[in-house]
């Protein structure tokens, strides 16, 4: 009887006298769900270089969500783990794809620039001038470019200017067999929604102290093929940078 009376008293205390222990909900860490969202968005870093910022932000919010805690395990930590995993995976893929693309474009730019220099050295000025145009403005390879350039007075004047250019005259003087070497690694960069390359050549033979600087643009034509365009060919120039901007 005593045990039954004590059990009834305990039930009464838990039901009506304020001694009932309520289950406490775990704290919510919103940073974990933000990390998961950023991790999912990191998939775009494979396509767009600017989106490589997403994996970095996912890691930052993930570390915030996984900070030490007291009491029950906060909600959102599993989301943080998954977000960081996705960020690392997609970020690594995006960085690798971008690095491979830059390496491929660098080799193509070096080859294109070398072929351009040989055309000028061999006296094929008309062909070299065609490489200075956008791919859709270039004349057909079946045409007689020499006759075409001489038939138009304005085009003929531009050809004369091309022949008298100091860099072009030096390339012809040294000849197609000149041992031009890269002065520094090819600089491939992305600007204004387009890929560009800077190639700088040095002549180590000692016959010329000329260092040639080339700037090129890269576009994809209507058939999905990459096309390079020679934009600037000049002696290497040091860019002036103002120490103070007013």
Q: What is the DSSP code string of 87-153?
A: HHHHHHHHHHHHHHHHHHHHHHHHHHHHHHHHHHHTT-HHHHHHTTS-GGGPPPTTS-HHHHHHHSH
Radius of gyration of the chain (CA): 33
Whole-prediction pTM: 0.71
Q: Which CATH architecture has domain 99-235?
A: Roll (3.10)
Query: Over the chain, what is the mean pLDDT?
Result: 84
Q: Going by C-beta distance under 8 Å and a sequence separation of 6 or more, which residues neighbour residue 151? A: none
Length of the chain: 246
141 vs 158, residue with greater confidence: 158
Is residue 48 pLDDT above 80, yes or no? yes
* pLDDT (average), residues 96-106: 92
Start and end residues for every CATH 3.10.450 domain found in the chain: 99-235
223-234 residue pLDDT tens? 888 999 999 999
Confidence check: pLDDT of 208 > 80: no
CA geometry: angle at 112 spanning 106 and 195, to 5°?
45
The residue-averaged pLDDT of 126-152 equals 86
Could you give the percent of the chain with pLDDT greater than 70?
A: 84
pLDDT band at 142 (very low <50, low <70, confident <90, very high): confident
pLDDT of residue 243: 54
State mean pLDDT over 68-93: 90
| pLDDT grade for 144, boundaries at 50, 70 and 90 | confident
Predicted local distance difference test score (pLDDT) of residue 41 = 94
Collapsing DSSP states into helix, strand and coil, what is residue 230?
Answer: strand
Q: Which residue in this structure is represented by tokens 């067999």?
A: 177
CA distance 89 to 110: 32
Q: Which of 68-72, 85-89, 93-97 has the lowest mean pLDDT?
A: 68-72
């Amino acid at each position: 009887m005593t045990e039954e009376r004590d059990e009834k008293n305990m039930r009464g205390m838990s039901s009506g006298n304020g001694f009932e222990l309520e289950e406490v909900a775990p704290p919510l860490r919103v940073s974990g769900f933000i990390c998961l969202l950023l991790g999912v968005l990191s998939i775009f870093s494979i396509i767009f270089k600017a989106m490589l910022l997403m994996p970095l932000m996912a890691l930052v919010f993930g570390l915030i969500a996984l900070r030490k805690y007291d009491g029950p395990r906060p909600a959102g930590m599993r989301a943080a783990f998954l977000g960081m995993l996705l960020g690392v995976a997609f970020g690594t893929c995006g960085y690798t794809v971008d690095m491979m693309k830059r390496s491929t474009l660098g080799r193509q730019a070096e080859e294109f620039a070398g072929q351009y220099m040989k055309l000028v050295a061999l006296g094929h000025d008309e062909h070299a001038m065609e490489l200075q145009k956008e791919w859709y403005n270039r004349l057909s390879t079946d045409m007689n470019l020499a006759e075409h350039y001489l038939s138009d007075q304005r085009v003929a004047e531009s050809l004369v200017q091309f022949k008298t250019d100091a860099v072009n005259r030096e390339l012809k003087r040294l000849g197609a067999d000149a041992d031009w070497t890269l002065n520094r690694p090819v600089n491939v960069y992305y600007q204004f929604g387009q890929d560009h390359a800077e190639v700088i050549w040095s002549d180590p033979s000692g016959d010329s102290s000329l260092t040639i600087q080339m700037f090129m643009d890269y576009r994809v034509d209507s058939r999905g093929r990459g096309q390079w365009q020679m934009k600037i060919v000049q002696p290497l120039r040091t860019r002036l940078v103002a120490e103070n901007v007013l």
